[in-house]
Amino acid sequence: MVAITTTTAPPARASALTRFRRRRGAMIGLYVYLTVVAAFSLLPLLLAWMTAFKDRAQVVSNPYGFPNPPVMDNLQEAWTSGRFSQYFMSSVIISVTSVLAMVVIAPLAGYGLARMRFWGREVVIGGLLIGLTIPITAIILPLYTVMRELHLLNTYASVVITHVAIGAPFFAFIMRAFFLRLPSALEDAARVDGCSELRLFWSVMLPLVRPGVLTVALLEFLWTWNNLILPLVFLTSENVRTLPIGMLLLTGRFATDYGLLSAAVLILSFPVVVLFLIFQRNFVEGLASGSVKG
């Protein structure tokens, strides 16, 4: 009797203190790792942003330290003689218009793909998916001809339309993922009430996928803001050029003014960084839900 009870002793466990120490060690290790990765992400950009405030002498003598003293000359030069003020406006117009167009078109398409059964649905989905594999530089020549036929060359419309046309499949699928998560009970109820499809979409479904719409808006803004090849080909007049082109123009062949170039980088990335700072939380939620179900 006594022998039996003694053999059922519980397995040895580390003391509470050791467990706490081990967990804290793991936590510290975790944060070290995260900080290293964060440094990897941040340092190159910090370097660029700091260089924007250095004059030519400092770029040579103090390439990796803080600007001492910081100068605004580069930013000024980029903004005025670099014509970045002009390019900035063009970029804003193009991006804002593209976003406005996309947040209307993508949810409409996404909803159709998600909540409706119709003939040819598989074909449409397949066709849209294949579109993701088409490299833009390959179709730029035929696209140019189309734009010319429509008399849209050198207009913002040519770039906006192309952005929306190319991005529509991708963003439609993101919206589709959002719509798929909504319970079908909602629309069944609405349909029974005699609600028209459009009304249903506009008043009921769309507000429920607001995070998705925000995601689409942010991503479309980002993509149109940074895009280089489309303005390069379609907008060859100085007064409609965009910021990335301005940057490209600064990369001369024989000499590089690193300070000026860095100022350009700062101006180019400033708006998108600010946007993502503000909408970070919503964006993260939106993107996550969109791709988890994707």
Partner 1 sequence: MAATTLTAVAALALAGCTSGGGTDSGKDEPAGDGVLNLWYGYEPGQADAITELIAQWDEANPDVTVEITAMGPELNPPSLLPALSAGEGPDMWAGTIGSGPSQAFIDAGLVRDLTPYYCDNGWNDVIPDELATIVTTDGKLFGIPNSIESTGVFYRKSIFEQLGLEVPTTWDEFMDVVTTLVENGYETPIGTAGQDAWPVTQLLGAMWMSAVGPDGIEKTLFGDGTWTEDGFQQATQMFADLQGNGYFGPEPLAYTYQAMTADFYNGVVPMTYTGGFVIPGAQEDAGENFDDIGVFALPSVVDGPIYANASPGEGWYVNANSAYADEAADLLNFLFFTDESRTKILEGGLVPVGPVDVSKVELPSVLEELLSEQDKYRENGTVPTFIEVLTPGGIFEVMQTGVQGILAGSTSPDQLTQSIQTAWETEKEAGNTLDASAAPQC
Partner 2 sequence: MARTATRAQALTHQQRARRRHLRRGRRRTLIAYAFLAPALILYVMFVVRPTFQLFGMSFYTWNGVSPTRDFVGLDNFKRLFADPLFWKSLRNNLVFVVLLVAFNVTVGLITASALARATRGRLLYQLVFFLPVVQASIVTALVWKWIYQPDGLLNRLMEDVGLGFLTRGWLGDPNTALAALALAAAWSGFGLSVVIFLAGIQGIDHTLYDAAKVDGANVRQIFFNVTAPQLRPVVTVVFLLEMIGAFQTFDIIWATTRGGPVSATEVLATYMFKRSFTEAQFGYGAAVAVTLMIIVLTAALISLVIRERNED
Helices and strands per DSSP (H, E), number in the chain: 16, 0
Choosing among partner 2, partner 1, none, which partner's interface includes residue 127 (Cβ < 5 to 8 Å by kind)? partner 2
Choosing among partner 1, partner 2, none, which partner's interface includes residue 116 (Cβ < 5 to 8 Å by kind)? partner 2
Select 134 or 273, whichever has its Cβ closest to partner 1. Answer: 134
Select 80 or 251, whichever has its Cβ closest to partner 1. Answer: 251
Q: Give one word for 57, left, alpha or beta, with left for phi > 0 and alpha for psi -120 to 50.
A: alpha
As measured in angstroms, the least distance from the Cβ of 293 to partner 1 is 26
As measured in angstroms, the least distance from the Cβ of 123 to partner 1 is 25
Select 147 or 240, whichever has its Cβ closest to partner 2. Answer: 147
Q: Which residues bind partner 1 (CB under 8 A)?
A: 93, 97, 100-101, 103-104, 137, 140-141, 144-145, 148, 151-157, 160-161, 198, 202, 229, 232-233, 236-240, 245, 248-257, 260
Choosing among partner 2, partner 1, none, which partner's interface includes residue 130 (Cβ < 5 to 8 Å by kind)? partner 2
Tokens representing 6 are: 């003694």
Select 86 or 289, whichever has its Cβ closest to partner 1. Answer: 86
Token pair 């946007």: residue: 275
Choosing among partner 1, partner 2, none, which partner's interface includes residue 85 (Cβ < 5 to 8 Å by kind)? none
The enclosing H or E element of 270 equals helix 258-278
List all residues 6 or more positions away from 215 whose beta carbon is below 8 Å from its beta carbon: 174, 282, 283, 286, 287, 290
Choosing among partner 2, partner 1, none, which partner's interface includes residue 168 (Cβ < 5 to 8 Å by kind)? partner 2
Sign (positive/negative) of CA torsion 276, 282, 285, 286?
negative
Choosing among partner 1, partner 2, none, which partner's interface includes residue 41 (Cβ < 5 to 8 Å by kind)? partner 2
Select 192 or 292, whichever has its Cβ closest to partner 2. Answer: 292
As measured in angstroms, the least distance from the Cβ of 194 to partner 1 is 19
Select 5 or 272, whichever has its Cβ closest to partner 2. Answer: 272
As measured in angstroms, the least distance from the Cβ of 146 to partner 2 is 7
Choosing among partner 1, partner 2, none, which partner's interface includes residue 28 (Cβ < 5 to 8 Å by kind)? none
As measured in angstroms, the least distance from the Cβ of 210 to partner 2 is 17
Select 156 or 289, whichever has its Cβ closest to partner 1. Answer: 156
Select 154 or 226, whichever has its Cβ closest to partner 1. Answer: 154
As measured in angstroms, the least distance from the Cβ of 171 to partner 2 is 9
As measured in angstroms, the least distance from the Cβ of 7 to partner 2 is 21
